Amino acid sequence: MSLSSLIVTASAAPASVDDWSNRTIAFLGPVGTFSEAALLGQADLARARCVPMATFADVLQAAENREVDYAFVAIENAIEGTVNVTQDTLAFDSTLLIQREVVLPIHLALMARPGVKIEDITHVWSYPHALAQSRKFVARELPGVASEPSNSTADAARMLAEADSDLAATGAAIAPERAAEVYGLDVLAHEIEDHDGNATRFVLVAPEVIPAPTGRDKTTIVVFQHVDAPGSLLSILQEFDARGINLTKLESRPTRHGLGHYCFLIDFEGHIDDEVVADALRSLKSKHAEVKFMGSYPVAGEHGLGLDH
């Protein structure tokens, strides 16, 4: 969204949804994914019609094309970092704005068809991030086993449940325990993630709307430097420091315009409706860089206007 159209008056239009049952939300399917668990964990969002889709790209495109009202996608994991397809789509290819964030603790399980034992397994399916988050367990308990990527953790469980008997007899999936219940699998090992404190941050996104400020908000922007020179990043950061604005995330990403060309994705405390935030963004745009606004929204766990956690 054009920054100039947002901060001329530093005013945000309140977003309120009284009846979520009339709204549609796309999420990464199939049934049993962490995305679904995080989505249904929000009491208000759970009342909406939730539509599973095959990939994060499909989920975001459906919202961009107005085929659904909202998209709900993972954007960051505590172990593996940024979910690049989400971050890059929102930063470069989309007009969608972040409406809220949801943080879900992540626990992975090893599952197989009934009767299959750990020693029978020769290949394991899962989403690439989940495979990476459990690589130590796999190396220790399943040495030499082939890892095969799937579109989601629950999709790995579904694929295993639907596989022919010969393939399923030596296969396993790494997925949420709920996926084992959904697809009739047995859990062979619980909580196999390599690190305590594993969690994934999800965001609800939609076209154009900016939630009203709650007093505990976060804003996300992308900054494209006018000039790449010594001290240019420092000068950008000083705009926040001078106004006492706390950054919660700073990450560089390729701009897609050749090697060595980077932009900065920045999360910081505050809302576009706060004059200090609007002033910082005006100064950034006039002195240092182009700025793309990606949303102002309640921090995880906060109650915003129209929210029902």
Active site residues: 200, 202
- CA–CA separation, 127 and 257 (whole Å): 29
